Structure 1
Amino acid sequence: MKPVIIKYGLVIAGGIIQGFGMGLFLFPQYVPSGGAGGITVLLNYWFGLSMGTALWIVNFTLLLAGLYVLGKRFAVWTVIAITMTSLSVTFFEQIPVHNRNLMIDLVFGSIFLGIGIGILMRQNVSNGGIGVLALIISKKYNVLPGRSLFWINSFIFIFAAIIIDWKIIILALLSQWIATQVVNMIFQLSFDKSYTLGWRKK
């Protein structure tokens, strides 16, 4: 029972920290937080879907892939993480911040984003969106999830920039580089006692 409680706490904390980085730092500066957002923009551009509908389609499709490959427990934990992240973003984006600096927001937002994602991935939980694919690749090919996350997101950002607009591509790639470095650092941390709850595909 204790490992489950610890995992609940870590998943909730990871979702909140990730949402903190997005809601307080990245989103106010219009910096995309991941590849799912890039796909969402493309669906909106090509098919006229609302952002909310397009984002739901992207996350739901990727979650189905995770459900098939990683199991039901993965899907349940990911839903918890996504919910906490959404609530956290909604809360923190309401906080007014004066005298904003783009690069400071970019760096701090990316660091907190990476911490949140890293905590979730250490628990075999995705942060939603492209994080699902990163975990699948990590488990199948034994590579760091941050590495695959960076390359997938980078490809999506570049593709979206070619189709739509180049204005924020550099900021998006820089943010992803910082975040994924933090993800890899956290994923490689070693503890005397592991708090990662093992699970099997069901």
Structure 2
Amino acid sequence: MAHVEKKLTPIELLQKFIFITLGAVLMALALEVFLVPNAIIDGGITGVSIILSKVTSVSLGIFIFVLNLPFFILGRRQIGRTFAFSTLYGIAVMSVSTALLHDVQPFTNEKILAVLFGGLILGLGVGLVLRFGGSLDGTEIVAILISKKTNIPVGQIIMFINVFIFIVAGFVFGWDSAMYSIFTYYIASRVMDVVVEGWDESKSVTIISGEYEEISQAIMDRLGRNTTFFYGKGGFSKEDTQIIFCVVNRLEVAKLKAIVQEFDKKAFIAIEHVSDVLGGNFK
């Protein structure tokens, strides 16, 4: 049975359109006003486009659109129609914006300032587009398709591609620029994570204790977080027990630990990072 994508409401479509447009313009601003004038590049297809633009003197916007287009066509069926066309729209807006901003004077010629502010704006732009269902670089599509064939994680594939691009940039722009570009990429990726995942980083907590009922009730009463019981059996003791599972934000982790240890100082607590939380009463 074919997968039917959820139809967006007019308000959702307008919101998607506004924020993808804003994100694409911000990325173009970071490239043309901070990074490219200071010989600093981004990773992925954008980085390849900057290198080719430097070597051939052809407009950066043209390379960004032309190089991304084959990957869009290749991955359209794999990534879904809505995501694909959101990506195509975002890349088109970014390409046009880079052309319009090409003759704007750079805000700074200090490379450290260009790295910091360029990376910040770049991460904000890419993060907005990702958060609202699009992408600004075909590298992710390539990585997804390769990963399906090879079982290599997507993140590792993107890392290998970018390492190669930064090495090439070292020969074209010089090794200082390549190293500045690596720091810019790191800053942008951290900002992008914050935009996509939000400031309220969530943690999933698994608790194993004989005092599970008291601990569960205290978590619900004092933190206002729902808990779930899973049946468990000790591998060594062979005793049946209930395992507590709950999700809290990062500011509540210390308080949760104190609650658990108040009832059982030997309780087992496992805490993991959660990328996103949807549904339930979690706010």
TM-score (norm 2): 0.54
Is contact 2:45–2:68 with CA below 8 Å preserved after alignment? yes
Alpha-carbon separation, structure 1, partners of 2:47 and 2:90: 20
Gaps of at least 5 residues in structure 2 are: 1-9, 201-283
Amino acid at match of 1:34: G
Contact 1:26/1:32, CA 8 A, preserved across alignment: yes
Structure 1 residue 111: Cα displacement: 0.8
8 A Cα contact 1:63 1:128, kept in partner? no
1:102 maps onto 2:150 in alignment: no
Residue segments in structure 1 that go unaligned for 5+ positions in a row: 192-202
Q: Distance in 2 between matches of 1:105 and 1:9?
A: 26
Tell me the CA shift for residue 183 of structure 1: 1.0
Q: What SS does the corresponding residue of 1:33 show, helix, strand or coil?
A: coil
Q: Partners of 2:96 and 2:166 in 1: how far apart?
A: 25
**Residues 99 and 162 of structure 1: is their aligned pair in 2 closer, same or farther, counting only changes over 3 Å?**
closer
Q: Cα distance 1:161–1:83, how it changes in 2: closer, same or farther (>3 A)?
A: closer
Paired residue total: 185
The counterpart of 2:100, out of the listed 91, 94, 98, is: 91
| Per-residue deviation, residues 75-109 of structure 1 (Å, max 9, x unmatched) | 21112111221222223332224762111012101
Structure with more contact order per residue of length (Cα contacts < 8 Å, sep ≥ 6): 1
Q: Which has the higher strand share?
A: 2
Query: Where do residues 33-182 of structure 1 align in structure 2 (5 Å cutoff)?
Result: 33-40=42-49, 41=51, 55-97=64-106, 100-133=109-142, 136=144, 149=158, 152-158=161-167, 160-161=168-169, 166-167=174-175, 168-182=177-191
Distance in 2, matches of 1:33 and 1:84, equals 18
In 2, Cα distance between the equivalents of 1:17 and 1:98? 14
The code of the aligned residue for 1:10 comes to F
Q: Quick check: 1:35–1:154 contact (8 Å CA) kept in 2?
A: no
CA distance in 2, matches of 1:162, 1:25: 19
